[in-house]
Amino acid sequence: MASSDYSARHLSVLEGLEAVRKRPGMYIGSTDSRGLMHCLWEIIDNSVDEALGGNGDEISVVLHRDNSVEVRDRARGIPVDIEPKTGLSGVEVVFTKLHAGGKFGSGSYAASGGLHGVGASVVNALSERLDVEVDRDGKTWAMSFHRGEPGIFADSGEPRADAPFTPFENKSELRVVGKVGKNVTGTRIRYWADPQIFSRGTTFQTDELFARARQTAFLVRGLGIDITDERGDEPAHELFRFDGGIAEYVDYLAPDTALTETWRMTGSGTFTETVPVLNDGGAMVPTELTRDCEVDIALRWGTGYDTVFRSYVNIIATPKGGTHQAGFEAGILKFLRAQVELNARRLKVGTGANSTEKIEKDDVLAGLTAVLTVRLPEPQFEGQTKEILGTPAVRNIVAAVVAKTMAERFASPKRDDKTQSALVLEKIVAEMKSRISARAHKETQRRKNALENSSLPAKLVDCRSSDVANSELFIVEGDSALGTAKLARDSEYQALLPIRGKILNVQKASVSDMLSNAECASIIQVIGAGSGRSFDLATARYGKVIIMSDADVDGAHIRTLLLTLFFRYMPDMIRDGRVYAAVPPLHRVIVMNPGTKPNETIYTYSEQELTGVLAALKKSNRRYQDPIQRYKGLGEMDADQLATTTMDRQHRTLRRVQITDAVNAERVFELLMGNDVAPRKDFIIAGSDVLSRERIDV
């Protein structure tokens, strides 16, 4: 049990960290799994920053069964000597003082992911227990903390977060617990997240950890990141190490066939900024400093139209962009606009101020896969979560590097460079013309009177309401289900579109094949918002699109094909939460009541639920009609049954389709629905052992 007696020393240690515990969202974004993962990466990034400086080339992360996590490196080790201003050891300063550390105020790191000096101390404040061991000066030094307060845990056996804890009263002790070789250095940190802070059930996400470790290994060439998850029945283990750098990362990220090789753009620039610097007297003095900014970019254009862009500052991801991304987009757009003007005759585009054919940013970014990294000391981020770079001078530096290196590429006398440069210009012009054509078509369609010239398919059974938010489009399987659904629907706001069996697998097919497929074209036409780059969610005709297929293997296959169509060509429908899957029942149980009391109907949605219902009926000595009705398809239901179970808003169950991780979703769709058969075969074989034969509907 932690001591309740606090001295003035305790108050001085906990004063800053208590603010973290009261407002954790300010420092880690949230107190769910996202915030938990943010804490872990604050610790890992410290080791990565050491590797960036040439200290250590391997980091190990272990997720223990007791929900603690341990991070180990073989870098220089946290300083163990006394910091003169506080009188505390370097270890205690790092873990108990906000805005303190080697990266704060131009310390030991020229460029690092940490810059506010709060990462390790925030993790400590939000941990029920944190243990740190440092190998340095031939010794192993150790210190433990309980919710930010240093002290001693009385462990018996394995370390536990709930072990008896005694805080230091007068002076902290950095204990010597072992000896190491003179040249052996490194740090080991193990901590238990505080259940008083984090939401119940919050756990470390292994897939997210693997993804981030892979990303970091791409960004830091030669760094190995070893991840072990001991929590499952079988430990999961991955080692990530890549020698190709961000060029290899681009090839990994690219979702389409390459149109160009992967191009590298590197350069640097300097800028000055005035920052407050702490002088020897303890006062903050405005000082003008000259900063160096290094830029490294890898990119390639592909045959598709999706854009994959990743930006980083000192290897920290900036998913919401910032000045470096703005500089990249401005530089490449300005350069390519000028190139299109120079080659206007060959590309057959108009020129001059009155021309309506202007290259826009989306035309340039279509089909582009790019990784942008910049490195600079003390970058200005918007908040501790570091999602947006705010340093203004970086914009012009990145734009200048892009313009210079692109000019060298386009002026190159090499045949491959000339060919690829011409392909890029042709693709950009084609995207521009496609955008202009789509906009003109949409404006023309809006002018038409729907009663005079309706382009909607004849098989659409539309609803009467024009209220988009309240309307629903049911995509039903076959004419049999359509007939029943017509009687079961509410014609005021529920529309029906039948499809014939299994539609085209659009993951394999080209855009032209997809548009020439009658079923795919009908769905896109009925929704009315276009497809691909021209998709405009604001013009969609229905607030919900509900896939209503049979509850069997064929129905699941049809649902997968339809979801592939939405994911590939109308992903904003899924992102906005407008795509649903209906959940029809599998069984209908008629419970017979005695006398004149009407029989009771129970619908079940799985074999397990049916078994439970029948067991409960037998236990209460209630009779039911035998055999149990098993619905093989929606056409076997009458209208009342279909309305009650699947279409009536008061009683139905819908599954909303969501994209929580678009990158992994893209890979899964490509694995299950793409052209490459071998990985899909391996996936099926690997999963065959865990599949119950009873689940196969034959």
513 is catalytic: no
Q: Are strands 82-83 and 139-146 parallel, antiparallel or unpaired?
A: unpaired
Q: Which of 73, 229, 477, 519 is catalytic?
A: 477
β-partners of residue 151 are 144, 167
Which residue among 45, 135, 431, 550 is the active-site one?
A: 550
Residues in the chain: 698
Is 554 an annotated catalytic residue? yes
Per DSSP (E only), the strands in 160-248 are 165-167, 175-179, 186-193, 224-229, 236-240
Residue 460, class by beta-carbon neighbours within 10 Å (0-12 exposed, 13-18 middle, 19+ buried)? middle
Listed residue (538, 528, 566, 584) closest to 659, CA to CA = 566
Q: Dihedrals φ, ψ of 173, to 5°?
A: -125, 120
Q: Which helix (H) or strand (E) holds 278?
A: strand 263-278
Could you say which of 273, 552, 609, 648 is catalytic? Answer: 552
State the amino acid at position 474 in one-letter form: F
- Tell me the CA distances in angstroms from 342 to 345, 419, 434, 639, one per residue in order: 8, 16, 21, 65
The DSSP 8-state label assigned to residue 647 in this structure reads I
CA-wise closest residue to 91 among 137, 132, 151, 147: 132
- Position of tokens 């906005």? 576
How is residue 576 written in tokens? 């906005």
Distance between start and end Cα atoms, the chain: 60
Helices H / strands E in the chain, number of each: 21, 26
For 650-684, the DSSP string reads TT--EEE---S-HHHHHHHHHHHHSS-HHHHHHHH
Among 308, 211, 296, 301, smallest CA distance to 245 is for 296
Given 83, 554, 609, 670, the catalytic residue: 554
User: Cβ of 685: how many Cβ atoms within 10 Å?
Assistant: 9
Which are the catalytic amino acids?
Answer: 477, 550, 552, 554
